[in-house]
Structures are given as structure tokens and as C-alpha cells.
Amino acid sequence: MSKPRASIVLSLLVVLPLFLQCCEKRDVEESVLARLPYDADLDGWEAEGEPQTAEGEDLFELINGGAEIYHEYGFRRAAIQSYSKRAERTINVELYEMEDPASAYGAYSFKIGKTGEPIYIGDEGKLEDYYLSFWKGHFVVTVVGYDTAPETREGLMVLARAIDERIPEGGGRPEPVGLLLGALPEPARVTYMEGGLALSNRLPFDAGNTLGLRQGAVAEYDTHSVFLFAYEDEDESREWNQRARDRLEGDEFHDFRSYAEGFSVQDAAGQVVYVVASGRFMLICVGLEHSAARTVIASVLERQRPERAE
């Protein structure tokens, strides 16, 4: 290789990594950082210092706990920015870009509690005592104050609305959530699930690896919970239903009953676990007696019958 050519190759080896690093930084700036508000019209709230950002595995270093659930749903990048007002109040904004709207909705639904006030920000939001969360499109946002003073709570709304305006496109709820909410009364909380971490946090017993979760949702009430799992086709649904039956017939459960449409058991706490497979869906009702559980599941199945007819 001639000396001029060798020099060009060496220069490329030095410059290319720097170029790629600049491109990655630009991607972050064009996605996450572009959603953070820095306008003067923030009712006196001003950004403090530089934002912190993370992509991929760097999220574990950025936030103290909780990174696993974002990665389970499909995390891309994040930014955290502090805001203050007259050096008296401080609010933190956490902004997460996810792989798609379903991922963003899932992370949002996992984070919110059963209490709080619904707010009309983004595609859906909820205001708690000192923080609020909302999701819109690919993004899930948490705005956290450090007290419950009226000025702080108003600041949460001001910053949330400003971020909402910077996210141009919204999204829709995932299919399992729509099926549950379209058939059942308004729950205390509904959670969309894509992996074992979310499922184990919501399911009141250990099902092991017997549900084959791809997409699922749970509607939680004071007395019971209703789970819906969506599979690729009816054969896959039946396969995982059989695995669940084999697992739940084990020693931890008792009072096994078989029905034409499914089966039921009682867990160690005495709760009835009623399981039905229908089409490409599997439904589980936990906490109601057999007849009541059958009625609840039937109402959800009625909702998805048109799809089967097609």
C-alpha cells in the first residue's frame, strides 16, 4: 500500500468513530431533547443545568432502579431535565422514547397507580399528589415535583402541556387493552404487558413459564383481576392453555375443575383462578367465584367474536 493511501485509511479510522458518535448524539437531540421545553413561556419555570441522556444499556446508569421494565417494553433513549422557579421549587422531567406506541403505553400503564386524577394530556395521563405521568406516540413522560404545594402541582401541568405540544403524533391502545376496556366496567388500573417482569408483578401467583406471553393486558378491580393474552393463532393459544392447565394442576393449587371451555383451580390464598381459551386468546379471571368469573369472561369473549367470524 502506498504511503498516501495508507494515510487516508488511517485518517478514516480516526475520523469515522467520531463521525458516528456525532450522528448518534444528533439522533438523541432530534428525538428526546427536542421534546424538552426551553421556551420563556413556562410560567416562570426555567431549565437548570444540562439534561442527562441515555441510550440502550446506559439507562441502568441514568436511573436508580427501574431500567429493566423499560427494556422489557422496548427502550430506545431517555432524557432527564430539572426545572426550577425562583430557586424555591424544583421539578424533574423524565422523558423516555420507546420502540413504538404499544411500548410507550405499556411502560406508562405499568408505572401508574390505582389512584390519581385522569388528565387530558397526551394520549392518556394521570396526576398523583406530587407527580404526573402521560404517554403519547412513542414517548412516555413522568414529571415529578418534590412537594404538593399548589404552585408545584400547577408547574407539573405547565411542563407536561409544553412537552405534549412537542410530540406531534399520538398512538392508540394495544389490542388486548381495547378488548378488555370495551367489554368490562372501568377498572382501578389496566396494564399492558409484553414480558415476564410485568406479568409477575401483576399475576398474584407464580405461573412459571406457562403462559407464553406475547401481548397481554390485565384489568384490576377491588375484588378481582381479568387477564387477556393474545397469541398468533388459535393453535398457539390452545398449546399455552394446555401448558397452563398442566402447571396449575400442581401441588400449589387445589379444587381442579374441568369445563368444556376451560378449567379452574384455587390458589394457596383460596382465590378461584378461572382459565378459558377461545380463538387466539386466553383469558384468566382471578378472585371471583366460578359463576361470576364465567360471566365476566363471557362478556369479553362476546367482544371478540366478530374477529373470529371474519
Contact (Cβ atoms closer than 8 angstroms) between residue 113 and residue 129: no
Q: pLDDT class for 231, splitting at 50, 70, 90?
A: very high
- Burial readout 190-219 (b: 16 or more C-beta within 10 A, e: otherwise): bbbbbbeebbeebbebebeebbbbebbbbb
pLDDT value, residue 305: 60
pLDDT value, residue 198: 95
Q: What predicted TM-score, i.e. pTM, was given to this entire model?
A: 0.86
Give percent of the chain above pLDDT 90: 73
pLDDT at 41 over 50: yes
pLDDT value, residue 20: 38
pLDDT at 111 over 70: yes
Query: Three-state SS string across the chain, please?
Result: CCHHHHHHHHHHHHHHHHHHHHHHHHHHHHHCHHHCCCCCCCCCCEEEEEEEEEEHHHHHHHCCCCHHHHHHHCEEEEEEEEEEECCCEEEEEEEEEECCHHHHHHHHHHHCCCCCEEECCCCEEEECCCEEEEEECCEEEEEEECCCCHHHHHHHHHHHHHHHHCCCCCCCCCHHHHHHHHHCCCCCEEEEECCHHHHHHHCCCCCCCCCCCCEEEEEECCCCEEEEEECCCHHHHHHHHHHHHHHHCCCCCEEEEECCCEEEEECCCCCEEEEEEECCEEEEEECCCHHHHHHHHHHHHHHHHHHHHC
Phi, psi of 149 (to 5 degrees): -60, 145
Q: Which residues on adjacent β-strands are paired with residue 108?
A: none
Give percent of the chain above pLDDT 70: 88
pLDDT value, residue 206: 80
Query: Which of these ranges, 18-32, 180-194, 213-227, 293-307, has the smallest mean pLDDT?
Result: 18-32
pLDDT value, residue 18: 42
Q: pLDDT class for 302, splitting at 50, 70, 90?
A: confident
Query: Which of these ranges, 23-32, 272-281, 299-308, has the smallest mean pLDDT?
Result: 23-32
Q: pLDDT class for 40, splitting at 50, 70, 90?
A: confident
pLDDT value, residue 309: 43
Average pLDDT, stretch 24-50? 79
Average pLDDT, stretch 95-118? 96
Average pLDDT, stretch 58-83? 94
Domains, in order of start, for the chain: 25-165 (3.40.1000.70), 175-309 (3.40.1000.70)
Average pLDDT, stretch 283-303? 94
d(CA 216, CA 243): 17
Q: Which residues on adjacent β-strands are paired with residue 227?
A: 218, 284
pLDDT at 164 over 80: yes
Stronger pLDDT, 86 or 220, i.e. the higher one? 220
Average pLDDT, stretch 115-139? 95
Spatial CA neighbour of 128 closest among 108, 140, 114, 107: 114
Average pLDDT, stretch 89-112? 96
Contact (Cβ atoms closer than 8 angstroms) between residue 307 and residue 182: no
